[in-house]
Amino acid sequence: MSSYNFPGQSNFYKGKVRDVYYIHDDLLAMIASDRISAFDVVLPKPIPYKGQVLNQVAAYMLNATKDICPNWLLSTPAPNVSIGKKCTPFKIEMVVRGNLTGHAWRTYSSGKRLLCGVEMPDGMKENDFFPAPIITPSTKADAGHDEDISKEEIIANGLASAEEWQVLEKYALALFAKGKEIAAKQGLILVDTKYEFGKIGNDIYLMDEVHTPDSSRYFYADGFEERQASGERQKQLSKEFVREWLIANNFMGKEGQTVPEMKDDWVETISQRYIELYEKVTGEKFVPQNWSEEQTYQAVIDELKKFSS
């Protein structure tokens, strides 16, 4: 996908999977590409329809949670494009975990019980529910790997004030509760997720994507307890299967490691898993849309005219 140049464009940022166009000083157009990243590395092949899936799941969830806190989204003029308010971001990610999975489990199984300043109870098995959801923040790195950080370090380093942290914590836990409720209606468990927040003036806004396969992990609720009891792997909907494939092929984003070859049938499998997640999470049928770059460009320009002051 080539870069666009929109009227009033003041800046451009190419993220790992998103291209962000800043319009004047108050709006942005975020284009969800078909790029896929894991271990903070962009993999060599794009995944068909991934951008549309991410954009539409995020829009669905942002609209479903706007009663909890204000968010940045104004409209979605194209399948993979969102237009919204520009916020000044907090340089942290609010990672909320309901189950002992992924990075938390890797930390736990190494014998540690402290993650981001949060104590994890003894006697837990992989994928068990925490007594209550925990927040394990990470720094939002401009480049390279995000790093674990505690609430105390966030406040001490001025990444958020104590008052701001209270609001971020309240919003993150309320959003996670709502996400779990939405997931439960679809026979899913929202396991863990990350939220990003920013400010407009003194107000804190939810930014970026919410409860998507790139930012969240879901388990199938049906059979969860039985699988836990028998020590079976949980059936999940997330990007974790991509990470597991990379780990199995000796890649974890470390220096000197090479990304394994992505064959076409594997790329198609990933695409189908993303579409499955869209349909399972939203309960809606996925309708693939193949817009040209010209169509997308024109739709964004037409939409921006509505918001330009």
pLDDT of residue 143: 59
Please report, rounded to a whole number, the percentage of residues in the chain having pLDDT higher than 90: 88
Distance CA 104, CA 122 (A): 13
* Locus of tokens 């401009």: 142
**Integer-rounded Cα radius of gyration of the chain:** 19
Distance CA 191, CA 127 (A): 8
Distance CA 132, CA 121 (A): 11
Q: What is the pLDDT of residues 230-271, one digit of tens each?
A: 999 999 888 888 989 999 999 999 999 999 999 999 999 999
Q: Which helix (H) or strand (E) holds 241?
A: helix 240-248
User: Which pLDDT band, with edges at 50, 70 and 90, does 183 fall under?
Assistant: very high
The mean pLDDT value for 108-122 works out to: 97
Distance CA 210, CA 93 (A): 12
pLDDT of residue 119: 97
Q: What is the pLDDT of residues 48-93, one digit of tens each?
A: 999 999 999 999 999 999 999 999 999 999 999 999 999 999 999 9
Best CA proximity match to 244, nearest among 264, 223, 269: 269
Task: Look up residue 138 and give its two tokens.
Answer: 């990470």
Q: Domains along the chain?
A: 9-87+273-307 (3.30.200.20), 89-238 (3.30.470.20)
Q: What is the pLDDT of residues 186-209, one digit of tens each?
A: 999 999 999 999 999 999 999 999
One-letter identity of residue 122: D
Does residue 83 contact residue 307 with C-beta atoms inside 8 Å?
A: yes
Tell me what the pLDDT averaged over the chain comes to: 94
Is residue 1 scored above 60 in pLDDT? Answer: no
Is residue 142 scored above 80 in pLDDT? Answer: no
Is residue 144 scored above 80 in pLDDT? Answer: no
- Angle at 64 (CA atoms; ends 11, 161), nearest 5 degrees: 60
- Number of residues assigned to the chain: 309
